Amino acid sequence: MKYEEYGVIDFVKDDFFVSWVKHPNSESDEFWREYIISHPDMMPTINQAKHLVLSIKYEDHVTLQPSEYTNMFENILKPNIRSKANSKHWVLKIAAVASVFIVASFIYFISHYDDNNVQKTTKQTISKIVKQNPKGQKSIITLPDGSIVKLNSESTLTYFSNYGKKDRYVQLTGEAFFDVKKSRVPFSIKTKGIETTVKGTTFNIRSYDNEDNTQVLVVSGEVYVSDKNGNSITLLPSELIEYSSSKNITKKSADVDFKNIIGWKDGILIFDSDSFDEVIRKVERWYGVTVTIKNKSLMKGTYTGEYHNKSLKRVLDGISYTSNFNYEILNDKQVLIK
């Protein structure tokens, strides 16, 4: 096929074209310059192909910290000293892998031997543990391996009785702050749309059903996040990602105000230029009340404020003062704004 008949992808597939785009030399430069001059109508196609060739990249990027660089280097040179311990370590490792493989293949074999019977048996031995917080309640959960989860209001954490054996897997709706114990066994959290995996770190995840975005903020350590479209990214401390089903994973800049996002776990209720809607939602969730608004025209503007372990009345006093409305707390669970 002649170049004149080429489409964008045909150029992209062409070795000579690709080597010109990536490593031009005087010969290839001359060839393609001549070609474009004599076939000017091919220019848009060639430009698109060139752009495509140059834009193909890895999605995920990392930087090696200086300490990691030197630690790895030391570990490479060390073997001379720890060779005796090393071989023991290797034997254990091989034994572990072999036993996992044997168990895995055993289970595989059995499940194929008698499908129905075995499915029931395996399902019976594993149970689900659900920790649920209604609005107005926060709690601290300690997982079997010692990892600590601070669960926010209106949130649910689910894990299974086989937690910690081969992996540490939990499901979250709502918001939680995780302090994951370091272990070779990976710890993963499933939230709406994305799955987060860590080895031992502290970070915050926010994924409420009634909110569009899912948000992950890393405080220490390193977190690996992926969505069902296969996008994935590794986050370092103070990095934040947001996931929404329309935009997939987007990474925000790394200078994040922590208090705004994780203040809740220390009893700090923060409003940061929040719309009235958000303010109401936060109050409802934090205190477990239902807010009814008589005069909808009051719901305009934004509110900023910070409350450390304050009562509902104090918070409403503060907001109503600046936003100019009156309120009434009825029977402990309802608020009326007029």
Note the residues at the interface with other proteins (CB under 8 A).
7-9, 12-13, 18, 22, 48, 51-64, 66, 68-70, 72-81, 97, 100-101, 104, 122-123, 126, 160, 162, 166-167, 169, 186, 188, 190, 195, 197, 199, 222, 224, 226, 228-232, 234, 239, 250-254
CB of 96 to other proteins, least distance (A): 10
CB 141 within 8 A of CB 151: yes
CB of 310 to other proteins, least distance (A): 35
CB of 42 to other proteins, least distance (A): 13
CB of 30 to other proteins, least distance (A): 23
Please, which residues have CB within 8 angstroms of residue 67's CB and are 6 or more apart in sequence?
none
Phi then psi dihedrals of residue 62, to 5 deg: -140, 160
Q: Smaller CB distance to other proteins: residue 159 or 177? A: 159
Please, which residues have CB within 8 angstroms of residue 92's CB and are 6 or more apart in sequence?
none
Q: Smaller CB distance to other proteins: residue 175 or 239? A: 239
Distance in angstroms (rounded) separating the CA atoms of residues 250 and 102: 41
Q: Smaller CB distance to other proteins: residue 38 or 67? A: 67
Q: How many CB atoms lie within 10 A of CB 196?
A: 26
Q: Smaller CB distance to other proteins: residue 228 or 308? A: 228
Q: Smaller CB distance to other proteins: residue 119 or 304? A: 119
Distance in angstroms (rounded) separating the CA atoms of residues 143 and 146: 5
Distance in angstroms (rounded) separating the CA atoms of residues 136 and 289: 7
Distance in angstroms (rounded) separating the CA atoms of residues 330 and 337: 11
Strand pairing partners for 149? Answer: 141, 178
CB of 148 to other proteins, least distance (A): 21
SS3 (DSSP) at 249: strand
Q: Smaller CB distance to other proteins: residue 57 or 112? A: 57
Q: Smaller CB distance to other proteins: residue 68 or 328? A: 68
CB of 254 to other proteins, least distance (A): 6
CB of 307 to other proteins, least distance (A): 31
Q: Is 147 exposed, middle or buried (0-12, 13-18, 19+ CB in 10 A)?
A: buried
Distance in angstroms (rounded) separating the CA atoms of residues 193 and 9: 32
